[in-house]
Amino acid sequence: KRIDNHLPTADLQRLDAAHHLHPFTNGAELAEKGARVITRADGVMLTDSEGVEILDGMAGLWCVNLGYGRKELAEVAAAQMAQLPYYNTFFQTTHPPVVALSARIAELAPGNLNHVFFAGSGSEANDTNIRLVRHYWALKGKPEKKTVISRKNAYHGSSMGSGSLGGMAGMHAQGGMPIPDITHIDQPYWYGEGGDMDPAEFGLARARALEAEIDRIGEDKVAAFIAEPIQGAGAVIIPPETYWPEIQRICDERDILLIADEVICGFGRTGNWFGSQTLGIRPDIMTIAKGLSSGYQPIGGSVLSDEVAEVISSDEFAHGYTYSGHPVACAVALENLRLLEEEKVIEHVRDTAAPYLAQKWREIGDHPMVGEARIIGMMGALEMSPDKANRAPFKAEKGTVGLRCRERCFANGLVMRHVGDTMIISPPLIMTPADIDLLFERVVKSLDETL
Ligand code: PLP
């Protein structure tokens, strides 16, 4: 049965403006333009209510790793709904999908990350992490160790806890974030903040800011450091190679836990199952969501090392969500992981899609609008600049050129996001070289028209 919009586009837009509040959106501005109505998707293509096809350069919100239209996932969801649509795992019960998914994640996760606490999203999972690391230290007799250090311009979610972990100034300006005992160090953003330093030197300096922050607060008061292996929403900030080894050294030497937020980097995006593997990170906890189910169901979680799980399990952790380990979400995630493996999607990223995309990205780097084109796996950014040599910003108000480029992309049948004047992509991992050619063509056309 095909589910379609029942109303003409203009009516949908009018009702949308009247009754639906969009996340991260100026509602008044949107009401004037009218939201584009997306009604269908298949593979890497979206279709709007007028029948126009749009290439999805963002995999939804960095999540539809397997691409759209996979009937296997719909069938598994329907079967699970018919058999056991819901049951919780709070009070000494469990169910097959949550058991199977936990065991599968333990198999895939690196090192001794063998235990999963489920949530409904990345935000919820990071909220879990805040309480979890504090409770961990309290159980170890160190209740004072409760500060979590994060980074400016990080994104860890939108709830009070996860938004506080994030370092988005615009979010902190609204509604009372950050909550206490969370601090933020500078990010390893060489293009924007590296000045005259070479990238290696800059990477070391920004990693050592963690050590300085631990000293400032006192090691006996710091619970954990959290970071995305590659900052996604911050504008695909790929740290210099010197950065992560130094962060790892500091976390190993100072008695603090390392949380890798793999919500974007996990499940193939960087050419390995997890970004931690690509960047050589050994976390104590990983946050997962998005690609875990390729966005077909809302699900997230915290993956804990044996050591952390043993401590947490020694007491009742008074925490959980009605939808922790939701059977339908777990069944769909499990099937998604099966398909990613069976269809060798991660090998496809590593051997075919990412190298080809990187080649195209180098070509785009020569465009007169582009100051830097950076890419890793299937996530990339274009820093737009009128003056490549000096990495200079545009004279217009920050974000104006980015918005114009994003609108050109949209008009040209391509979803790309802008963060200020930086354009970002994170397409479905299944992109073929032909899809990448189309992406390239539409990016270049849009850049030309933005000039
Ligand atoms: N962590 C990272 C790295 C993210 O990119 C996001 C979302 O973009 C989140 C956490 C929050 O996940 P969710 O939107 O599922 O709450």
First to last CA, the chain: 45
Pairing of strands 147-151, 45-48: unpaired
Token couple for 75: 């069938």
Note whether 177 and 155 are within 8 A (CB): no
Note whether 62 and 426 are within 8 A (CB): yes
**Ligand 1 site residues, Cβ closer than 6 angstroms:** 61, 121-123, 126, 155-157, 228, 232-233, 261, 263-264, 289, 300
- 75-128 pLDDT tens trace: 999 999 999 999 999 999 999 999 999 999 999 999 999 999 999 999 999 999
Dihedral pair phi/psi, residue 393, rounded to 5° = -80, 170
- 303-346 pLDDT tens trace: 999 999 999 999 999 999 999 999 999 999 999 999 999 999 99
Judgement on whether residues 55 and 82 belong to the same structural domain of the protein? no
Nearest CA to ligand 1 atom 10: 156
Q: How far apart are CA 89 and CA 177, in angstroms?
A: 31
| pLDDT at position 1 | 47
Domain that holds residue 77: 73-342
Q: How far apart are CA 15 and CA 302, in angstroms?
A: 38
Q: How far apart are CA 129 and CA 285, in angstroms?
A: 8
- 187-236 pLDDT tens trace: 999 999 999 999 999 999 999 999 999 999 999 999 999 999 999 999 99
> How far apart are the CA of 300 and the centre of ligand 1, in A?
9
What integer best gives the mean pLDDT of the chain? 97
Q: Is residue 2 part of a domain?
A: no
Q: Is residue 27 part of a domain?
A: no
Residue 29: helix, strand or coil by DSSP? Answer: helix
Judgement on whether residues 181 and 240 belong to the same structural domain of the protein? yes
CATH number at residue 391: 3.90.1150.10
Nearest CA to ligand 1 atom 13: 122
SS3 readout for 388-411: CCCCECCCCCCCHHHHHHHHHHHH
Containing H/E element for 208? helix 199-217
Judgement on whether residues 180 and 326 belong to the same structural domain of the protein? yes
Judgement on whether residues 138 and 259 belong to the same structural domain of the protein? yes
Residue 224's contacts (CB-CB under 8 Å, 6 or more residues apart) are 129, 133, 148, 149, 256, 257, 258, 259, 284, 285
| pLDDT at position 412 | 98
Judgement on whether residues 288 and 165 belong to the same structural domain of the protein? yes
Judgement on whether residues 348 and 430 belong to the same structural domain of the protein? yes
- 129-160 pLDDT tens trace: 999 999 999 999 999 999 999 999 999 999 99
Alpha-carbon Rg for the chain in angstroms:
22
The last residue of one of the domains, among 342, 364, 379, is 342
> How far apart are the CA of 197 and the centre of ligand 1, in A?
31
CB atoms within 10 A of CB 262: 31
Judgement on whether residues 283 and 381 belong to the same structural domain of the protein? no
Q: What atom of ligand 1 comes closest to residue 233's alpha carbon?
A: 5
Q: What atom of ligand 1 comes closest to residue 124's alpha carbon?
A: 16
Note whether 250 and 149 are within 8 A (CB): no
Query: What is the torsional sign of CA 138, 141, 143, 146?
Result: negative
CATH number at residue 136: 3.40.640.10
Q: Which of 65, 123, 168, 321 gets mutated to test ligand 1 (max ligand atoms within 8 A of its CB)? A: 123
Q: How far apart are CA 253 and CA 245, in angstroms?
A: 12
Note whether 271 and 355 are within 8 A (CB): no
Containing H/E element for 172? helix 169-172
Q: Is residue 124 part of a domain?
A: yes
| pLDDT bucket at 5, cuts 50 / 70 / 90 | low
Q: What atom of ligand 1 comes closest to residue 123's alpha carbon?
A: 16
Note whether 302 and 128 are within 8 A (CB): yes
77: region left, alpha or beta (phi > 0 left; psi from -120 to 50 alpha)? alpha
Q: Is residue 128 part of a domain?
A: yes
Apex 260 CA angle, 257 and 264, nearest 5: 165
Dihedral (C-alpha) 34, 449, 58, 280: value to the nearest 10 degrees? -150
Q: What atom of ligand 1 comes closest to residue 261's alpha carbon?
A: 3
For the cut 80, the answer to whether the pLDDT of residue 2 exceeds it is: no
Look-up: residue for tokens 């603090």?
256
Judgement on whether residues 296 and 171 belong to the same structural domain of the protein? yes
For the cut 90, the answer to whether the pLDDT of residue 272 exceeds it is: yes
Q: What atom of ligand 1 comes closest to residue 298's alpha carbon?
A: 15
The beta strand positions in 300-427, using DSSP E, are 300-305, 370-376, 379-384, 414-415, 417-419, 422-425
Q: Which of 264, 274, 303, 321 gets mutated to test ligand 1 (max ligand atoms within 8 A of its CB)? A: 264
Q: What atom of ligand 1 comes closest to residue 154's alpha carbon?
A: 3
Residue 183: helix, strand or coil by DSSP? Answer: strand
Cis-peptide into 178, omega within 30 deg: yes
- 232-271 pLDDT tens trace: 999 999 999 999 999 999 999 999 999 999 999 999 999 9
Look-up: residue for tokens 């009754």?
19
Apex 430 CA angle, 326 and 239, nearest 5: 85
The last residue of one of the domains, among 310, 342, 374, is 342
The last residue of one of the domains, among 342, 362, 397, is 342
> How far apart are the CA of 123 and the centre of ligand 1, in A?
6
Query: Total structural domains in the chain?
Result: 2
| pLDDT at position 451 | 85
The beta strand positions in 251-365, using DSSP E, are 257-261, 285-288, 300-305
